[in-house]
């Protein structure tokens, strides 16, 4: 019941964005993941919705000012996140399906493969003076997340948000398995 309420709440948020809210151009079927997930988060904020959202950010609040600054150059934020009650309760091949959707213009920045922990892919779209987009595919034991940010983005500022604004700091496990490759 709780799960249904959460899914419905998030779906309402997505629908409430309005019929004109853009969807990302992903040809990926997430229905199976949605069925198996305990919690599903879907965010579709195109340029219009971003402008509307930032208009409601408080200018007297330091954290909200920071978010407004980060978002100022963006034209879209699209997120899909699925949380599961058991480890690897989803088909990991979905990550490969998503990778195939990434078109030209995106460069692979980071690839992490782990036997027991997360697989991580980070792609960026380089611009003339700054990054013009970031695409993250995170396949963790109990969470599968896709983050697609389109527009001029400062990754350092984005990372600094953690620990502020009620965003909890990430608890990273100190142990990790071998077999990691980093593409630079």
Closest CB to another protein among residues 105, 161? 161
- Least distance from C-beta 29 to another protein, angstroms? 21
Closest CB to another protein among residues 33, 109? 109
Angle at the Cα of 106 from the Cα atoms of 101 and 109, rounded to 5 degrees: 110
- Least distance from C-beta 133 to another protein, angstroms? 12
What gap in Å lies between CA 123 and CA 106, rounded to an integer? Answer: 6
Instruction: Report in angstroms the alpha-carbon separations of 159 from 35, 43, 53, 77.
Output: 31, 19, 20, 16
The residue ranges that bind another protein (CB under 8 A) are 13-14, 16-18, 41, 43, 45, 49-50, 52-57, 67, 70-71, 77, 79, 81, 109-110, 112, 118, 120, 122, 134, 136, 138, 145, 147, 149, 155, 158-162, 165-167, 170, 172, 176, 180, 182
Closest CB to another protein among residues 22, 158? 158
Supply 63's token pair.
């954290």
Q: CB-based contacts of 173: which residues, under 8 Å, 6+ apart?
A: 117
């Amino acid at each position: 019941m709780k799960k249904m309420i959460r899914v419905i709440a998030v779906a309402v948020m997505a629908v409430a964005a309005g019929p004109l809210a853009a969807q990302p151009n992903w040809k990926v079927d997430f229905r199976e993941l949605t069925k198996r997930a305990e919690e599903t988060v879907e965010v579709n904020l195109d340029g219009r919705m971003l402008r509307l959202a930032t208009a409601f950010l408080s200018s007297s609040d330091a954290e909200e000012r920071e978010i407004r600054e980060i978002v100022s150059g963006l034209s879209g934020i699209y997120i899909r996140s699925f949380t599961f009650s058991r480890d690897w309760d989803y088909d990991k091949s979905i990550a490969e399906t998503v990778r195939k959707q990434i078109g030209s213009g995106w460069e692979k920045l980071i690839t992490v493969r782990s036997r027991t922990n997360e697989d991580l892919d980070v792609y960026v779209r380089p611009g003339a003076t700054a990054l013009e987009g970031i695409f993250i595919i995170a396949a963790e034991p109990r969470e599968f997340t896709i983050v697609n940010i389109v527009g001029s983005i400062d990754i350092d500022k984005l990372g600094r948000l953690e620990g502020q604004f009620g965003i909890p700091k990430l608890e990273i496990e100190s142990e990790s398995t071998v077999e990691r490759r980093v593409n630079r």
